[in-house]
Amino acid sequence: MRQEYNIDRIIQYNVSEIDSNIMVVNREYNNLTYQIKKVRERISMHQAKLYTLIQENVHTEMEQTSQNLKQQMELRQRIESLQQQYQSLIETRKNKPYKISIGQMPQSTRYNKLNTESKYLQNIIKIICYRAETAFANTMASCYSKNRDEIRALVKSVIFSKADLIPDEVNKTLTIKLYSLATKRDNLAVQKDCDLLNDTEIIFPGTNLTLVFKTATT
């Protein structure tokens, strides 16, 4: 596919511009809203601590009162500072529209989309791979009749497992020797598929070598 269809060039991540008149939520407005929420949470946390100190001050000894009052003063200052920050963020957000057009967004953050043709091709390849995986899984259904998820897991382990390629120019074969899997049942299921594939006597493309599938346990 690389040579005949230039597949590497077709599958790409180029983007195309979206209609600049489409209205979207203003990202700056959202960021300010998030900051306002966090500042409000900090104010509530400090107010809760201040209330606790006030209650403790009623029951503490005289020598601890000064330290308690000092902590109260520090908390009041922090709360006042956070409230000023809160009001500043509120005023800033008032000047930001909730929604803007894509054309009004900064170039660096403007929304785009992948080229449609490239996305369609990638989806087609994914569907073909999924259908091949499903066909492979269906041939092993008799070994895992109670749990279809086990079949899918086995197919994935076979796809990602290692294998030895053993060409034999004399006998005109190319042996695909799969490494042993986790359980005996898995190996038996894969061997059943190997026998099925061997009956088809597939010729490896571009050669005159017949593919022979086997597992390391056979």
Residue 157 reports pLDDT greater than 90 = no
Domain spans, the chain: 20-106, 161-215
Nearest to 193 by CA among 149, 146, 135, 150: 135
DSSP 52-106: HHHHHHHHS-HHHHHHHHHHHHHHHHHHHHHHHHHHHHHHHHHTS-SEEEGGGS-
- pTM of the predicted model, to two decimals? 0.45
Q: What confidence score (pLDDT) does residue 12 get?
A: 58
Q: How confident is the model at residue 67 (pLDDT cuts 50, 70, 90)?
A: confident
- What is the mean pLDDT of the segment spanning 137-145? 73
Tell me what the pLDDT averaged over the chain comes to. 82
Planar angle of CA 129, 134, 136, nearest 5 degrees: 95
- What is the mean pLDDT of the segment spanning 8-27? 72
